[in-house]
Chains A and B, each alone.
Chain A
Amino acid sequence: MLIPCPFCGPRDMSEFRCGGQSAIVRPVPAQQVSDEAWSNYMFMRPNPRGVLAERWVHQGGCGTWFNILRNTVSHEIMAVYAIDAAPPELKP
């Protein structure tokens, strides 16, 4: 894949590492988090066939973490956005 790093521009996938699905909310504080809620946060992923928001890091480059929207079937990358930003609306 060719991944568009928001700082360095398009680079080969071998420079990046995938951190899996993005925007998973970490439940805190621990005393108030049920076993089930914690297990969902740790392990349960929708793994969709289609568009997935995931986070990547340009490990072999600038070291920045960022989000992308990627089609898991075609590997088309539809959007790149900051790690703490909301995903952009995709045109239908």
Chain B
Amino acid sequence: MNVNRTDKCGMIDRNRRLWFRFNGRDYMGYAGDTLASALLANGVRLAGRSFKLHRPRGLMTAGVEEVNVLVSVGTGGATTTNLRATEVDLVEGLDARTVNVWPSLRFDIGAINDLLARFFKAGFYYKTFMWPDWHLYEPLIRHAAGLGRPAIEPDPARYEHQTHHCDVLVIGAGQAGVEAASQAAQSGARVILVEQEPSIQPLPQARVLFMSRTTAIAYYDHNLVLLTERPADGLARERFHQVRADRIILATGTFERPLLFPGNDRPGIMLASAAKTYAERFGALAGRQIVLATNNTSSDEVAFLMAQIGAQIVATIDWRCGERILKTMGRHGVKAVLYRDARGKSQKIACDAVLMSGGWNPNVQLFSQAGGKLTYDPLIASFRPAADLPSVSCVGAANGDFAPDYGITADWTLPEDGGKIFVDFQNDATVADIRQAADENFRSVEHLKRYTTLGMAVDQGKTANVNALAIMGSLTGQSPGEVGTTRFRPPYTPTSLGAFGGLYTGLLFKPYKQTPLHVANMEAGAVFEDFGGWLRPAVYLRGGESHHNAMRREALAVRNTIGLFDGSPLGKIAVVGPDAALFLDHIYANPMSNLATGKARYGLMLNELGVVIDDGVTVRVADDHFLVGTTSSGADRIALMMEEWLQCEWTTWRVLISPVTTLWGNVTLSGPKARDVLVSLGSDIDLDQEAFPHMSWRQGKIAGMDARVARVSFTGELTFEISVASDQTEMLWDLSSAAAKPFSGAPIGINAWNLLRLEKSFLHIGADTDGTTLPADIGWTKVANRDVDFVGRRSLLWTCNQSPDRLQLVGLAAHDPLKVPPIGMAVKSMDPHRRTDGFVTSSEMSPSLNRPVTLAMVRAGRARIGETITLMNGQTCQIVSGAAYDPEGARLYV
């Protein structure tokens, strides 16, 4: 059934047949096959198309360096694309499709590119699509580019991460690698030995962890190596390992390179070593009538093997005797070659396969990634490591140690005429392209690479690079060593994004923080949204009401009776020590050292550029103890910022900074009935306005719990912010809800909270401010004169920062009371040299005032109070100052 299968060799399990599908047709292979070997055994020669010209292609290699046959496997979210057929294990029911073909592999419309190939030379895009503007063409070109299509649905497969430490990491378990691992283990080292080829299974050894089916893809500084494992245990599709090793030994072997002759890319033309691998490992024959083209002795054993297993070597074309292939024939697979023999006579011979051996390149990619230098060695006609790095070395063939019995005579002088000679098969870069690059003076190896895209395909030029450098050398009269190499970059082979992502996808990608009231909020109908990494209730829905109506109802509850707010995520940082007050005087733009114990004060924090980065209320717990309040999203970064200033600038100050946000849960009672509810909960704190005025702070018992209570207000109503231990917060919430019930109290979400502060013109950092906002822009004009070198102070004195023409935060009163000015809407400028005069930062319809309330950053806004401005949508507004609701603040002092 398998036309090209021999039973004379191969390590497949012939008792286990596997059915699989390739481009919609069913085939049979055996357990132990790869997709590539099974296709070869089935006589499938045309199996891929090249990237640019869509030329018909077949398997060229048997391993990780495969250039021609890229496939997609799986369906839906489980689709994986651009896999090398040589690395896809055959499994029952495998469904594989060739990438980059339409409508089908045999009749690929894109193949028209091949007929137009004389236009698609190096630099084609840069030269052709310049006029009038590259961006006009870019979408079309991007659409045509690319190989396989990735899945749109989420990937259901599991990917895992592991980390390892070892003394010696050996990559490659061939003879040299196993020897190196043994030696290291015997000297007492802990060794990890890595091998990507499943059939290579060295004998187990003490102190050596062997990792099969694992590829080293990247080297990073200080000996960090990334590995991807395709586990046989089926527990994950891929396992991603990070290994930190004291020493790294690369036993990564070699890659054979193609010979350069016209038409060297037809299906059926493959590397001699690949034919050997297919035969020995899988019992698959490259062909029956074989032409062998070679320039070295390593192909002798391939010829011997082929003859033994029933294939016929119809001709050996030996480059060393001056023999050359002049042309190949066969549209979808090679049928004959025309060659010149040693006597200079042209001959044509029929064949169904051409095996080529153009010499061997040490596989030095990881060595190069690690910064290792390469040198050209004429003995092996390739690049080898110039010298070991302090902790990274190459051994065996990867080090170029295969010269004595290799007998290569490499010749990169090229015939002037003939068909396309492919160098980089995957990106369709030909000898003509390299010649053109040389003609146009793109001769440096870096220019050559970028101009011709040589070595930039997904195979990273594993088989192409040395040939390309050598051709450039022969065109410019340099040795390959003088041309030099580019530094290889990770990854060594294409790596799935799933492997990098591991388990950290979906909800685990960036886990949300939940407040101690999360469950209680859920039960109260909360609709959660992400606020600075916290899942917080945006609104609490009742019945079938809309989000907007819920917000209005909640806001009115606060204005009329009472609302309960989950304030747990508000940042809390304890700043303690003899120099705590001094420290805060420097961290805040406004003074804190003159704050009395038990009092609260609003503060602004700047960065050293003078830009407003956070605000909040700080209370003085004791003479040497402050509790700094930050915004919810600022809690982490402000604590880090404080630490940096304390540790790096004010190194002698005696201060301890302790973020305590999550130690405390918070229930905030806000509204005219807040005190009544608090009284009914029971407290030993005197809650009277005189005893406990606005902007003060107390500790005591609330409903029997140890509590900290702050009288501050973000809503403009009487407000008590009650903090208790995290694990008691839910009890406090339940008791407060029950106590608020007689007053028709309601839980209120962030949306209503935001609306209430907007009615009061209270600043919302990040909404009303951005990365350019200075204190003076929001009305804090005096802090620059403070006689303390607080963070950001000197930057405020820059002339540009003192300009009266800056954007300033003001209120807007829309003339049309029914139309809310949209957030972000720009303000028209009367100055013809300016595009805008600012923009709307916060805006909403006020349910209490029945008109829009709006804040905006307006150029020189404070000097223009009373002026009418026009927004870009045509809407007119008056610039106003102060709060729209309760401008005198009478409702706070009750």
Contacts and interface: CB of A to CB of B under 8 A. Distances in A.
Nearest to B796: A30
B244 interface: yes
A84 B651 contact: yes
A35 interface: yes
Given A65-B643, A65-B644, A65-B647, A12 B224 contact: yes
A73 B647 CA distance: 28
B608 interface: yes
A83 B799 contact: no
Interface string A19-43: 1001000111110010100100010
A54 to B, nearest CB: 12
B608 A19 contact: no
A33 B794 contact: yes
A57 B795 contact: no
A51 to B, nearest CB: 16
Given A42-B795, A65-B643, A75 B221 contact: yes
Nearest to A64: B647
A39 B28 CA distance: 73
B640 interface: yes
Contacts of B640: 57, 59
A65 B648 contact: yes
A66 to B, nearest CB: 9
Contacts of A13: 221
**Chain B interface residue number, banded:** 20 to 34
Interface residues of A, number: 25
Interface string A57-92: 101000111000000001100000001100000000
Nearest to B652: A84
Contacts of B222: 1-2, 75
A61 to B, nearest CB: 13
A19 B224 contact: no
A38 B371 CA distance: 39
Contacts of A2: 221-224, 244
Contacts of A84: 651
A27 B789 CA distance: 10
Interface in B617-665: 640, 643-644, 647-649, 651
A71 to B, nearest CB: 11
A92 to B, nearest CB: 18
B221 A83 contact: no
B643 A12 contact: no
27 contacts: A1-B220, A1-B221, A1-B222, A2-B221, A2-B222, A2-B223, A12-B224, A26-B649, A26-B789, A27-B794, A29-B789, A30-B793, A30-B797, A35-B797, A35-B798, A38-B795, A42-B795, A55-B648, A57-B643, A57-B644, A57-B647, A59-B640, A63-B643, A64-B647, A65-B644, A65-B647, A75-B222
B609 interface: yes
Contact of B609 (A29, A35, A42): A42
Contacts of A42: 608-609, 795
A85 B794 CA distance: 26
A27 B609 CA distance: 14
A30 B788 CA distance: 8
Interface string B776-800: 0000000000000100011101110
Nearest to A35: B798
Interface in B202-240: 220-224
A1 B640 CA distance: 22
B789 A30 contact: yes
B164 to A, nearest CB: 12
Contacts of A33: 794
Give the 7 A-B CB pairs with smallest separation, nearest first: A2-B222, A30-B794, A65-B647, A28-B789, A75-B221, A1-B221, A84-B651
Most A-side CB within 10 Å, residue of B224, B244, B794: B794
Given A2-B244, A28-B789, A65-B643, 9 more contacts: A2-B223, A13-B221, A19-B648, A30-B797, A57-B647, A59-B640, A74-B371, A75-B221, A83-B647
Contact of B651 (A12, A35, A83): A83
Contacts of A63: 643
A26 B222 CA distance: 33
A30 B224 CA distance: 46
A40 to B, nearest CB: 12
Interface in B257-276: none
A85 to B, nearest CB: 10
A42 to B, nearest CB: 7
A52 B308 CA distance: 64
A35 B799 CA distance: 9
Contacts of A38: 794-795, 797-798
B651 to A, nearest CB: 5
A39 to B, nearest CB: 8
